[in-house]
Structure 1
Amino acid sequence: GGLGGAGIGLALTQELVHLLHGEISVESEVGKGATFTVTLPITHNAPLGHDFDQPAIREAVSAYLPVTKGNKTQDGHPARPGQPTVLVVEDNPDVVEYIRAILSSRFQIEVEYDGKQGLAKSLKSIPDIIISDIMMPEMDGLEMCRRLKADKRTSHIPIILLTAKADRASRIEGLRTGADAYLAKPFDRDELLARMDNLIELRAQLQARYRDLSFLFQPQHKLPEQDIHPDEAFLHELHRVIDDKLSDPTFNIPQLCEQIGMSRALLYKKFKALTGQSVADFIRRVRLHKARQLLQTTELNISQVAMDVGFKNLSTFSRNFTKEFGVNPREIRRDDS
């Protein structure tokens, strides 16, 4: 069937042999292939008949099979617009369809069949998560991962690497490229979904941290470049550009894009993924947080502070300030007096 090559057929066989109290062994020779031997007990007490219908067997089989109806693979409820996009980079069509069957009810699925195409697609569409095989033609998954993590346009994208190599050295090599998770073939549905859920939860935690702009205003300790997380470095770069133009009320998103060398569409997608907010909100909030800092640390009057952070209208400044911090600027100044 369609399970060959995915590592799924072997895993399913192993589960069934185990449930039937049998054994499976393998002999392999480089350049000649592998021979698998399945040994099942033939005794009067062998688990036959009603034992075949036990829930454990049904569960073992279903964990490695797509949801089906008749002879057609079903995607369950198709993903709706607005759901996260997963880019699957895998040269084996069987694995692609297996992953699609597992994820298509919760994610929009895009597919490329080698690392070179996967890299180009990632830079063009900025998916929310990438699932990639390692062994592929043109460009392998490790090189693709390495390039994506080194590019500020795509460094934030969580990447799951798939491989038939389960040894420790291979896992370490994958993680050193910046991969966020590593999944050894064969894998079942629950294992893949658990990894996806973990990455989504981690991204939500990072969004909460990055929405709190206080880390941008803390004293910066000089760290080696390799010790600074690329996402955090990117936000600091945005903050630096905005801070340089803070008193200019006409400073806008196109100017920001030009300064950092990124298209508006790419900046929007990356920033939304990092913070859950829009770039316009970020610019406004940077202005307001700088205003609070000035009110707390200088003798400037409120009108001057508003002008220094790019607000031409004092009432607009006060309204935005109160919405952001829950107090009006005069209360901040009174608290420090």
Structure 2
Amino acid sequence: MKVKKKIVLIEDDLALGISIVEILAFNNYDVEWFKDGAETITYFKKNICDLIISDFMMPTMNGEELFLKIHKEIKKNSIPFIIITANIDEGIKYRQLENGVNDYLTKPFKTKELLYKIKNILDFKQNIVKKFTPDPFSKVTIKLSQKDFILSLNEILLKTMKSKIDTTELSKRLFMSKSTLDKKIRKHTNKNTSQYIREFKLEYAIKLINLGEKNIQFLVDETGFNSFSYFSTSFKSYTRISAREYIKALKV
């Protein structure tokens, strides 16, 4: 049986909330509905979902504040986020997009618009997972020839991307000393181990951007860089332009 995608809705308007829950349930989504931001924050301290849809104008905590708390404080920044609003000026709208909100809906909106935006975001997320998940049947055995050495190296780096793997752990997983690892990487790539790991992470970030990701903090977290500033400096050194400039250039 196909597992239903879980959506969290935050909407204080009861009539609209009921309507959205019914629409999503009818279209085979599993929905958790909250009426305010405080309840939502408590929920996300122990739970996760596939997509968040939040009203912008709410008492005590608006949609922007909720987004920042979920993505920055609770670190659930891999969950796509859609803002719903009745009236939003250009400055506020652009600020939400700059913060990293994936999309927004202006009230009143059509049911089809809501469903299409949900589908597009979830499909995009799934495509990223498929694209970067190693095929378990791609190699029956691992013999560390030049080709298989690089494949094995890349597979380990991909699986440990967020854990900030160092050269000591990497050499252990490849059953060789640190010096042997460094020699093999230099031989096959003309790079030292640290440079290869850093550039592998940056290439992964670039692929995510090319697939549509524009939240730089998300890229930092996904690639396991120690800090936002280190990622930014490394990205600019590698590509000759900043991550923001690279993202903007794709929109032109």
The answer as to whether partners of 2:52 and 2:79 remain within 8 angstroms in 1 is yes
Q: CA deviation at 1:167?
A: 3.3
Aligned partner of 1:193 in structure 2 is 115
- Higher helix fraction: Structure 1 or Structure 2? 2
Matches for 1:230-249 after TM superposition, within 5 Å = 236-240=161-165, 244-245=168-169
Report if aligned partners of 2:21, 2:33 keep a CA contact under 8 Å in 1: no
1:90 is matched with 11
**For residue 60 of structure 1, what is the aligned residue in structure 2?**
none
8 Å Cα contact 1:161/1:183 also seen in 2: yes
Partner of 2:60: 138
Residue identity over aligned pairs, in percent, reads 27
Q: How far is the alpha carbon of 1:122 from its aligned partner? A: 2.2
> How much has 1:95 moved relative to structure 2?
1.2
1:112-261 to structure 2, matched below 5 A, reads 112-151=34-73, 153-212=75-134, 217=154, 236-240=161-165, 244-245=168-169
- Provide the C-alpha distance between the structure 1 equivalents of 2:102 and 2:90, rounded to a whole number of angstroms: 16
Q: Which residues of structure 2 form unaligned runs of 5+?
A: 136-150, 186-252
Separation in 1, partners of 2:87, 2:43: 26
Structure 1 position 289, deviation (Å): 11
Runs of 4+ in 1 over 6 A off after TM superposition: 288-291
Please report the TM-score for the alignment, with normalisation by the length of structure 2.
0.55
The one-letter amino acid paired with 1:194 is Y
Stretches of structure 1 lacking an aligned partner (at least 5 in a row): 1-79, 219-231, 249-286, 299-337
* DSSP 3-state at the match of 2:108: coil
Find the aligned partners of 2:50 and 2:181 in 1 and give their Cα distance.
37
Q: Distance in 1 between matches of 2:53 and 2:77?
A: 15
Alpha-carbon distance change, 245 to 191 in structure 1, aligned in 2, over 3 angstroms: same
Q: Which residue is 1:100 aligned to?
A: 21
Distance in 2 of aligned mates of 1:99 and 1:141:
17
Aligned 8 A contact 2:10 2:34 in 1: yes
Which of the two has higher C-alpha Rg? 1
TM-fit CA distance, 1:246: 5.0
Q: Deviations over 1:265-313 (max 9, x none)?
A: xxxxxxxxxxxxxxxxxxxxxx46999x959927xxxxxxxxxxxxxxx
SS of 1:121's equivalent?
Answer: helix
Question: 1:99 is matched by which residue type in structure 2?
Answer: I
What amino acid does structure 2 have at the position aligned with 1:236? M
Q: TM-score normalised to the size of structure 1?
A: 0.42
CA contact (8 A) 2:50 2:122 kept: no
5 Å-filtered alignment, 1:27-106, equals 82-105=3-26, 106=28
Tell me the number of residue pairs that the alignment of Structure 1 and Structure 2 aligns: 165
